[in-house]
Amino acid sequence: MFRLLFWIAFIVAAVWLWRRINRPRPAQPQQPARPDEPAPMVRCAQCGVHVPQDKALSHGQRWYCCPAHLQQDSASGER
């Protein structure tokens, strides 16, 4: 009786091990995409707020965060 249980357990373990070795592997997860490089920041000449350079307005070598600050600074500079 003990021999029979031993062989049944041995066969079950062998079948389990065989299936585990031969099962298809899941696809490797792709590496997450690298975030874009941070945009260069510039300081508004009127209020001092830092904004991304691609969203800032430039006048000469000065940068502004919005059209209102561009107008205010150019109006005060013309006086």
Asked if residue 31 is part of any domain, the answer here is no
Asked if residue 3 is part of any domain, the answer here is no
pLDDT tens figures, 48-60: 999 999 999 988 8
Expressed as residue numbers, the domain containing 73 is 40-79
Q: Which residue has the tokens 């109006």?
A: 75
Number of domains in the chain: 1
pLDDT tens figures, 66-77: 999 988 877 776
Asked if residue 50 is part of any domain, the answer here is yes
Q: Under 8 Å CB-to-CB from 56, ≥6 apart: which residues? A: 42, 44, 63, 64, 65
Asked if residue 54 is part of any domain, the answer here is yes
